Amino acid sequence: MKRILSVMLLTAFLSGAALAVEFTRQQAGKITQSVGDLLDRAHYKGARLNDAVAETHLKNYLDALDFNHMMFLQSDVDEFTEKYSKNLDNLTKAADANPAYQIFERYLKRLESTVTHIGGLLNEKHDFTKDEKFLAQRNKIPWPKTEADAQELWRQRIKFELLNGKLTDEAPAKTAEKITKRYARLQKNMKQFDSSEILQVYLSALGHAFDPHSDYMAPADAKNFDIHNVKLKLNGIGAQLRQDDEGHTEIVNLTPGGPAELSKQLKPKDKIVAVAQGSAEAVDCLDMKLGEVVDMIRGKKGTEVRLTIIPADAVSDSERREIRIVRDEIKLTEQYAFARIVEHVTADGKKQRLGVIDLPQFYQKCAADVEKLLVRLQKENVAGVVLDLRRNGGGLLNEAVELTGLFIKKGPVVQVRNPKQIDVLDDEDARVTYDGPLIVAVGHHSASASEIVAAALQDYGRALIVGDLATHGKGTVQTLYPLAQWMGTKQVVDPGQLKFTISKFYRIAGGTTQKHGVTPDIILPNVLDYLETGEAFLPNVLDADNIPPAKYQRADRLNGGLDELRKNSSDRTTKDKDFSYIREDIELVKKQRADKTISLNEQQRIQEKKEAEGRVEARKKERDARPISADKVFLVKTETVDKNQPLIAVIPPKPVAAAAKDATAKSKGTPQTKTTPQPAKKETKAPEDAEEPEDTTDAGKAIIDVYLRETLSILGDYARQQARNGRGEIVAVPR
């Protein structure tokens, strides 16, 4: 059954067609009918497309367009409710998608009125001495009843944004200009929505009436999903683009080793104003939607694209030149698995090597990439390995099964329940790639396939799970189904694809990760534990339940040593200054959650700002005073293994001991758990004891954040504990 499921999911992902042109209303209606029919017949929940679903569908669509309930009036909502709340199901079955466009037109009308009104609000004299509060998140608050109520909401909103500018010492005119451009850009972007994009929002709202993970993908989004979540590669020039406020397409950065970088003809902040294919006439792309520009630039490997650009250093927009670049395959290597070796110097002066494998998502052949990294880590004599899934939101089910198999002999990995039966997906390969001390690091963003791996290795007793209070809690499986297969192959345009839930997965012990997630063996404090994050907080979430356990044999690697590991970790985190800062931030978040309003009183906000800045400065001072860590970090990429390259030490952009100091710098009291550091300049003189070459190219990956630092300390304890118990030797059997 494992093979059948894997193939079914994979073929759906690989069957994406070319981008569609704008849908006619008739085509949109047929697509709507097909999506409704598929959800009604094939969704795991078994709910019928009826009045109850129609009511939720309408609510979801209104919220998708106006999440904070500030554009529509209550009279709009009442009108749509009376007209559609008990009728959208019937219109869907009758191939009528007109409600999507009628409601969207009303949204554009309200948006235009709002943008027009903002100019007057910016010119008003606002009193920042009043004791006034603003609620920024209004998604659970009713829509404004009247135009006057709406104008009062927007007065508070604009006052809030103006006050933010004052608090940063920005000139009032500059703040007003930014606000004007912000809402003008919003209006422009929404007016550029074509019929397929409107339909995508509308039909995803229908999918969400069944569960949070069922979405309709218009052709453009289906293609991008395939690129960024499955294949991790595309054919193009290797440039990240954005659209500026004047409607120009601007270069953000260039992919290292990509055609654009190698050509030496493009650089960041260059503006693309026209695109041509081969010898065809150039197409002006000023004010064109970014997705359309990207689609023109992408193309078949080996073909030429001509770009007309305004160089970043041009004196005026009239200074233009044409460049020619041959497209090539671009691999999105930033999402590939990679490893680090952390060489830690213990208190007694001994060196201990520990490995970390970071897997951002479960893409095609990621298990094979992780296997390569595991083999190399063992050649480098690591004492243990951390599999870091903290930021991994999931991916391909079969890859999760294969990856789990790298650490166990053979046996069940996950149970998959569809409406008719329960199937057990097994690792059928008895070979083990890595048999040494193993920790799986998880967090609130670990979801789906990540939870399958963590849960299986925990149930086997094969790995120690370390992280936040719980993982995300997504225990459902989706398939991406091309609608052309349902509607027939004689479609004039590609109708897109439907991602919908077909089954739920369960732990081999019989429990579920749905809503509950995976509870780590050792829990580290995190601010996210006190925010509404996770599956349980999503609307229309599927319930949690249990099934009988599968037959499997536990490895019980912890062998009664968990209490000792917990105590050691607790002792460290109690004394650790960074964790004391995290506990302080948790208390701040608790207070913020108790009162979600924001003061519009300038003096009160200045005081809050001073307190936050003082807190950040005190932490920075304490961190800067710490001794520089003697630990070394070596980066191991899959290409490092493929080319059998030697280890290269990566230099962090700041002392490792102070690596977490930016975590709260921009948060006004609410910390972030990761930073985006800039590479440091390479030192002119290497440390005296350096034996390996050093590199700053991947400097950000040299940083060991506070959570990973403690996880590695736990791993060090665990490895020593295993050695005492006679399990210190690492056994590697190539697969």
Q: At what angle do helices 98-123 and 51-65 cross, to 10 degrees?
A: 30
- Give me the phi and psi of 358, to 5 degrees please: -100, 120
Q: Is 300 a catalytic residue?
A: no
Query: What separation, in Å, do the N-terminal and C-terminal C-alpha atoms of the chain show?
Result: 22
**Which residue has 């849908």 as its token pair?**
23
Q: Which helix (H) or strand (E) holds 411?
A: strand 411-417
State the catalytic residue, choosing from 195, 448, 503, 713: 448
Q: Are strands 283-284 and 271-277 parallel, antiparallel or unpaired?
A: antiparallel
- Give me the phi and psi of 668, to 5 degrees please: 50, 40
Q: Which two tokens stand for residue 493?
A: 């345009």
CB atoms within 10 A of CB 345: 13
Q: Is 223 a catalytic residue?
A: no
Q: Which two tokens stand for residue 144?
A: 């404004």
Measure the CA–CA gap between 129 and 601, rounded to whole angstroms.
5
DSSP H helices, 17-50, are: 25-42
- Give me the phi and psi of 528, to 5 degrees please: -60, -20
Measure the CA–CA gap between 93 and 536, rounded to whole angstroms.
31
State the catalytic residue, choosing from 369, 388, 459, 717: 459
Of the candidates 493, 486, 481, 491, the one whose C-alpha atom is nearest the C-alpha of residue 14 is 481
DSSP H helices, 124-194, are: 147-167, 172-191
Q: What angle do CA 423, 427, 430 make, to 5 degrees?
A: 145
State the catalytic residue, choosing from 30, 474, 637, 701: 474
Which residue type sits at 592? Q
Q: What is the distance, to the nearest Å, from the Cα of residue 316 to the centroid of all Cα atoms in its chain?
A: 38
Distances (CA, A) of 142 to 75, 77, 146, 153, 192: 11, 10, 12, 12, 28
Q: Is 474 a catalytic residue?
A: yes
Scored b (16 or more CB within 10 A) or e, 293-318 reads bbbbbbbeeeeebbbbbbbeeeeeee
**Which residue has 């979600």 as its token pair?**
596
Of the candidates 97, 39, 1, the one whose C-alpha atom is nearest the C-alpha of residue 486 is 39
Of the candidates 516, 520, 448, 451, the one whose C-alpha atom is nearest the C-alpha of residue 707 is 520
Q: Cβ contacts of residue 184 below 8 Å, gap of 6+?
A: 115
SS3 for 433-469 is CCCCCEEEEECCCCCCHHHHHHHHHHHCCCCEEEECC
Of the candidates 423, 413, 425, the one whose C-alpha atom is nearest the C-alpha of residue 456 is 413
DSSP per-residue letters across 340-378? EEEEEE-TTS-EEEEEEEE--SB-TTHHHHHHHHHHHHH
Q: Are strands 233-236 and 522-523 parallel, antiparallel or unpaired?
A: unpaired
Q: Which helix (H) or strand (E) holds 416?
A: strand 411-417
Q: Are strands 464-467 and 438-442 parallel, antiparallel or unpaired?
A: parallel
- DSSP type of residue 389: -
Structural contact between residues 20 and 493, judged by C-beta atoms closer than 8 angstroms = yes
Q: At what angle do helices 98-123 and 147-167 cross, to 10 degrees?
A: 60
Active site residues: 448, 459, 474
